[in-house]
Amino acid sequence: MGKFGQASAFIGVAALACFILSMSASAQGQGRQYNAADIQAGDRLYGLQCAICHGQNGDGINGVNLPRNQFRRASSDDDIRNTITNGVAAAGMPPFRFQPAELNGLVAFIRSGFDRTGAPFKVGDASHGLAVYNANGCATCHRVNGNGARTAPDLSDIGSVRQPAAIQRSLVDPNAAILPINRTVCILTSDGRTIRGRRINEDTYTVQLIDQQERLVSLEKSAIREYEIVKTSAMPSFAGKLTDTDIADLVAYLMSLKG
């Protein structure tokens, strides 16, 4: 092959490589959509075929917690499919011969965190999700692994304690997704002080909160004149402010936070 032919071949290979990389980047940017039909189909199949060993809650095998996406070997969706299809002989797991749609359903159900409501969600690129998190000032309220403020809930283990659909809902409709313990409270004390902050604990006689200056405040209820639980979330909605791709990427980043 002459120099011209070698150069043409090199250009052709380089062009093909660029095309493959661009397609991969595009797919990564679009993210993976987990729809309601797949999640609910996976729930049914899991109950019939998988729960006998893994348990109804997905934590019946030592070292494996399926709803928390904690596996011994798998990390990607394809890894999960391969594990189901090929089995794990050393662990006593047999291979299963499922149709592609059935495999998709099982993967969707596992990735949903066993969300039996079948709420759809989309997961994108976690590395870009971190950039979205930083660019939108999330750390001015939230804390991750010791970095950030304390006025909003700590997100260090959010990927373990909240289902992906719930995380997505918190970003686009925070008023609907806020947990009761995380609601802001506004307190007027008997001596005339007004204290506003995030409630972190409450019992019959006392209430504890983080105020807007990040101070821990504990009050006896007998010293409170007025006590209001604010029904709306202090967190803004990102619906219409971020693109669907950015939201999917942010969901992926938050899902990666396991504590």
Question: Do 125-177+239-255 and 180-229 agree at the fold level?
Answer: no
Band of residue 2 on the pLDDT scale cut at 50, 70, 90? low
93-104 mean pLDDT: 96
CA nearest to 42, candidates 128, 137, 131, 112: 112
139 pLDDT higher than 60? yes
CATH topology classification for 125-177+239-255: Cytochrome Bc1 Complex; Chain D, domain 2 (1.10.760)
pLDDT in tens, 19-56: 333 333 333 445 899 999 999 999 999 999 999 999 99
9 pLDDT higher than 50? no
CA distance 191 to 197: 18
Band of residue 110 on the pLDDT scale cut at 50, 70, 90? very high
Domain 180-229 has CATH 2.10.260.10: no
Instruction: Write down the pLDDT at residue 30.
Output: 54
Instruction: Write down the pLDDT at residue 155.
Output: 97
Domain 33-120 architecture: Orthogonal Bundle (1.10)
pTM of the model: 0.82
Instruction: Write down the pLDDT at residue 180.
Output: 85
pLDDT in tens, 126-136: 999 999 999 99
Contact 96, 84 (CB under 8 A): yes
Domain ranges of the chain: 33-120, 125-177+239-255, 180-229
pLDDT in tens, 192-237: 999 999 998 999 999 999 999 999 999 999 999 999 999 899 999 9
Instruction: Provide the mean pLDDT of the chain.
Output: 89
